[in-house]
Chain A
């Protein structure tokens, strides 16, 4: 089966660093994505990991360990506008087909406080 776990909510302070964890179990792992979603809006792409290690992109970094089924999103120098849901999504290779589906976690609602 497929299962993706992330904390439901987190709170952090403006200017601080926050790490959002994601653990997954999937039969055909083919990459992990992080998306940001503000309330009432569609998700926007943040990062993509398919090999182990850290990917850095400005204030955002994402880490993957395939052997542990684990990823985290690191947000530095938090700003108020970073208050949003952060969705971990695993791409699952569909055997016999050409489509790689994204399976989403429930999302982590991050509240950044002054």
Chain B
């Protein structure tokens, strides 16, 4: 149980384009989803927290207009990187926590974004 999927697993795009990453909880309802970014050989940095049906809460230093988060249902959250630039190239990981999994966040497999 507690499986989280992400799509796509990797994406390469040109500078200036927008990229959407989906995060789904497959076998539980995720009341809260988290989006992290991880640069090579560094730990996970929380970007934002999203609760179903409400606006996301962004961490300090994360531009909410650049990283658009939508959590429209209890099983789906999306992260859109708008006008991507090479410095946005990173490993983006989502995690989900549900009503019955309040103690643990379960992570998706991650999305490797490369901006040329």
Q: A99-B49, A104-B45 are in contact. List 17 more A-B contacts (CB 8 A).
A: A40-B110, A42-B109, A43-B44, A45-B104, A45-B105, A45-B106, A87-B43, A87-B44, A97-B57, A98-B51, A99-B57, A101-B46, A102-B95, A102-B105, A103-B46, A104-B44, A105-B43
A21-64 toward B: CB 8 Å interface, digit per residue (1/0)? 00000000001010100001111110010100000000000000
Complex Cα gap A43–B105 (Å): 10
B108 within 8 Å of A by Cβ?
Answer: yes
B103 within 8 Å of A by Cβ?
Answer: yes
B51 contacts A99, CB within 8 Å? yes
- The minimal Cβ–Cβ distance linking B59 to chain A, given in whole angstroms, is 8
Complex Cα gap A104–B106 (Å): 14
A106 within 8 Å of B by Cβ?
Answer: yes
A-B contact pairs, 17 of them (CB 8 A): A41-B109, A41-B110, A42-B110, A43-B93, A44-B107, A45-B106, A48-B103, A48-B104, A87-B43, A97-B57, A99-B49, A99-B51, A99-B57, A101-B49, A102-B34, A106-B42, A107-B43
Q: Which B residues are in CB contact (< 8 Å) with A45?
A: 104-107
B24-67 toward A: CB 8 Å interface, digit per residue (1/0)? 00000000101000000011111001010000010000000000
Q: Which residues of A approach B to under 8 Å, CB–CB?
A: 31, 33, 35, 40-45, 48, 50, 87, 97-99, 101-107
**Across the two chains, which residue of chain A brings its CB closest to B107?**
A42
> What class of interface size applies to chain B in its complex with A?
20 to 34
- The minimal Cβ–Cβ distance linking A21 to chain B, given in whole angstroms, is 16
- The minimal Cβ–Cβ distance linking B83 to chain A, given in whole angstroms, is 26
B110 contacts A104, CB within 8 Å? no
**Across the two chains, which residue of chain B brings its CB closest to A98?**
B51
Complex Cα gap A98–B51 (Å): 10
In the complex where A87-B43, A87-B44, A105-B43 touch, is A43 in contact with B107 (Cβ < 8 A)?
yes
